[in-house]
Amino acid sequence: MITDVFCKILKGELKADVVYKDNDFWVVKDINPQAPIHLLIIPVKHFTSLEDFMEGDNNGLLGKGLVVAHKVAHQAGIAEKGYRLIINEGEHGGKMVPHLHIHLLGGKRLGPKLVK
Ligand code: AMP
């Protein structure tokens, strides 16, 4: 895993293209987009992983993350045609940045397979 660049973005130490912000989530454009729209929904509170997230009392925060995903999909104009949400977890899941995040991909018809 690489360093937690998302904490750096949230602290203002690293520039990013932020498309949405509230007290609980920021949404940034992925630096290496895999689709015409590729956004990352990032909780402001640091959780390394979904495992880490489950250990605390997080008051429906992940549910709110889905509400934010829905909101930014509308904002990006891709809600009607559809999109895909992905969470990569751990080594086999291909997680690179150790800060829980949801990928939102869309803007074209995505491939039929999630797994290569
Ligand atoms: P994951 O494999 O789920 O950990 O995905 C991490 C994602 O973060 C990848 O799609 C990267 O392209 C993206 N990423 C890495 N560094 C940055 C950055 N500085 N700003 C925006 N996205 C980034």
The predicted pLDDT at position 1 comes to: 57
Q: Residues 6 or more apart from 85 whose CB is under 8 A from it?
A: 66, 69, 102, 103, 104, 105
Name all domains of the chain by residue range, CATH numbers in brackets: 5-106 (3.30.428.10)
Q: What secondary structure, in 3-state letters, does 15-55 show?
A: CCCEEEECCCEEEEECCCCCCCEEEEEEECCCCCCHHHHHH
Query: What are the pocket residues of ligand 1 if the criterion is a CB atom closer than 6 Å to any ligand atom?
Result: 5, 14, 16, 28, 30-32, 40, 88, 94-97
The residue type at 30: D
User: Measured between alpha carbons, how far is 41 from 60 in angstroms, rounded to an integer?
Assistant: 15
Active site residue 46: no
The 10 Å Cβ neighbour count of residue 73 is 20
pLDDT of residue 112: 87
pLDDT tens digits, residue range 83-97? 999 999 999 999 999
* pLDDT of residue 50 exceeding 80: yes
- Ligand 1 atom, smallest distance to 101 CA: 3
Q: Does pLDDT of 67 surpass 60? A: yes
Q: Indicate whether this model's pTM tops 0.85.
A: yes
